[in-house]
Chain A
Amino acid sequence: MKINKHIAVSDSGFVFNPVTGESFTANPMGIEIIEMLKQERTIAEIHETLLQKYHTEHTTIEKDVADFFELLKNFSLIDRHETTEN
């Protein structure tokens, strides 16, 4: 799962893709996941980190993160063809 390296993320939740010129906003949880993707963490590591930090269940995280990745793919923020590794 590779996120486009050029993506700029600010603390305010503003996400900018300089290649396409599109901008987005994300909530703190979304920013946290994008940051982990930028550090090339695996999906399993992302799940684990969130599970340690937040009050919720694994199934919920798994479902919500998968949904979030779908959004990132739709917005061309991660590569469409690279979805099944990790």
Chain B
Amino acid sequence: MKRPKIRIGVTGLNAIDNPGPGVPVIRGLLEASSFDAHIIGLAYESLEPGIYMHDLVAKTYQIPYPSSGADQLMDRLAYIHEKERLDVIIPNFDAELFSFIKLAPKLKAMGIHTFLPTLDQFEERLKVNLPEFGKKYGMHVPKSESIYQVSDHKKHMDELGWPVVVKGKYYDAGIAYNSEQLAGYFNKISAKWGLPIILQEFAHGTEFNVTGLGDGYGNTISAVPMRKQYITDKGKAWGGIAITDEKLLKLTRHFIKETKWRGAFELELMKNKKGEFFLLEINPRIPAWVYLAVGVGQNIPEAYVNLAMGKAVQPFESFESGKMFVRYSWDMIVNLSDFEKISTTGEL
């Protein structure tokens, strides 16, 4: 049977040491059995490695940064769509999700499908809202408090205890062992990401991650837990093993059912000595280690595209255990003329 051709725009082609998920997503898409993927890269910077991977990406277009506004992004996407007739776009950066969620209805009207969380889902899982989120959906989260002035931390330290995790509204975090360190992180992070700063109880234990896919009606389409085996100095997994912890899977299904999560996600969890899991963070997108899920039999990018296209997708029931991923870096040789082309025309 001939597989239908689907034209898919993918962002996050920055396969560097702190990698974006674009390249692994594309690998999953190219291995899909239900369709024949034609990949259009969407890049912000001219050195994103995915731009130059011609065996994975048919053509790449530069797109404007989210900070230039949804209108400009829309104009650019309209131009790209005119040339490429995209069926689906998979945005893979945290910072661009807000814009794509807002643009989703317009994209749909043009014939471009997305499969993103709702704005409410996107916002209620923000770090500032995590305590509320935990209460609402009955999930353990570490205690946390938002502060607007350094001195306000004193009110909360009895409850939070030292050390404490100092987090920015969107990105960045540090672990402070005393008030001086806390003030240092507060100033550094707030200068970059603004207020408030979130103080989060430091959770001791082992970190676990789960990636998965919800259909928007509370059903779990996919869920694959992973334990990081090696962590880089940027805090990213360089090796990880797929695990079959039933408690983790149950927790993930609970999360999807309660929030009616729509789209892909990554849960970051901590397991303490008593074996209790605490939810540290929810990333509302596919993680960079998604190819592990593909490798153990749950092709999340493929299912994502089928859901976006409005097809019925059978939930994955199981996955192969005993597999791990080891990341590696790879030096490509690139013709300067390619760099020239993407730099001067914004297309390659």
User: Which residues from chain A sit less than 8 Å from chain B, CB to CB?
Assistant: 10, 12-14, 16, 23, 25
Comparing B122-130, B160-168, B337-345, the segment that makes contact with chain A is B337-345
Interface residues of B in 318-347 (CB under 8 A from A): 336, 339-341, 343-345
Distance in Å from the Cβ of A71 to the closest Cβ of chain B?
A: 18
CB nearest to A13 among chain B residues: B344
Chain B residues with Cβ below 8 Å from A13 are: 344
| B343 and A25 form a contact (CB under 8 A) | yes
| A23 and B339 form a contact (CB under 8 A) | yes
CB nearest to B344 among chain A residues: A12
Chain A residues with Cβ below 8 Å from B340 are: 10, 12, 14, 16, 23
CB nearest to A10 among chain B residues: B340
Distance in Å from the Cβ of B51 to the closest Cβ of chain A?
A: 15
Interface residues of B in 121-172 (CB under 8 A from A): none
Can you list 18 A-B contacts with CB-CB less than 8 angstroms, sorted by A residue number?
A10-B340, A10-B344, A12-B340, A12-B341, A12-B344, A12-B345, A13-B344, A14-B340, A14-B343, A14-B344, A16-B336, A16-B340, A23-B336, A23-B339, A23-B340, A23-B343, A25-B343, A25-B344
CB nearest to B345 among chain A residues: A12
Distance in Å from the Cβ of B67 to the closest Cβ of chain A?
A: 21
Chain A residues with Cβ below 8 Å from B344 are: 10, 12-14, 25
Distance in Å from the Cβ of A17 to the closest Cβ of chain B?
A: 12
Best-buried of B336, B339, B344, B345 by chain A (most CB within 10 Å): B344
> How long is the Cα–Cα vector from A14 to B345 in the complex, in angstroms?
10
Chain A residues with Cβ below 8 Å from B341 are: 12
Distance in Å from the Cβ of A21 to the closest Cβ of chain B?
A: 10
Chain B residues with Cβ below 8 Å from A14 are: 340, 343-344
15 new A-B contacts, CB < 8 A, other than A12-B344, A23-B340, A25-B343, are: A10-B340, A10-B344, A12-B340, A12-B341, A12-B345, A13-B344, A14-B340, A14-B343, A14-B344, A16-B336, A16-B340, A23-B336, A23-B339, A23-B343, A25-B344
> How long is the Cα–Cα vector from A63 to B94 in the complex, in angstroms?
45
> How long is the Cα–Cα vector from A14 to B339 in the complex, in angstroms?
10
> How long is the Cα–Cα vector from A13 to B345 in the complex, in angstroms?
10
> How long is the Cα–Cα vector from A23 to B339 in the complex, in angstroms?
10
> How long is the Cα–Cα vector from A24 to B2 in the complex, in angstroms?
46
CB nearest to B339 among chain A residues: A23
Best-buried of B336, B340, B341, B345 by chain A (most CB within 10 Å): B340
Chain A residues with Cβ below 8 Å from B343 are: 14, 23, 25
CB nearest to A12 among chain B residues: B344
Q: Which 7 A-B pairs have the closest CB atoms?
A: A12-B344, A14-B340, A14-B344, A13-B344, A25-B344, A25-B343, A10-B340
Chain B residues with Cβ below 8 Å from A16 are: 336, 340
Distance in Å from the Cβ of A7 to the closest Cβ of chain B?
A: 14
> How long is the Cα–Cα vector from A46 to B340 in the complex, in angstroms?
27
Distance in Å from the Cβ of B47 to the closest Cβ of chain A?
A: 11
Distance in Å from the Cβ of B52 to the closest Cβ of chain A?
A: 15
Best-buried of B339, B343, B345 by chain A (most CB within 10 Å): B343
Distance in Å from the Cβ of B288 to the closest Cβ of chain A?
A: 29
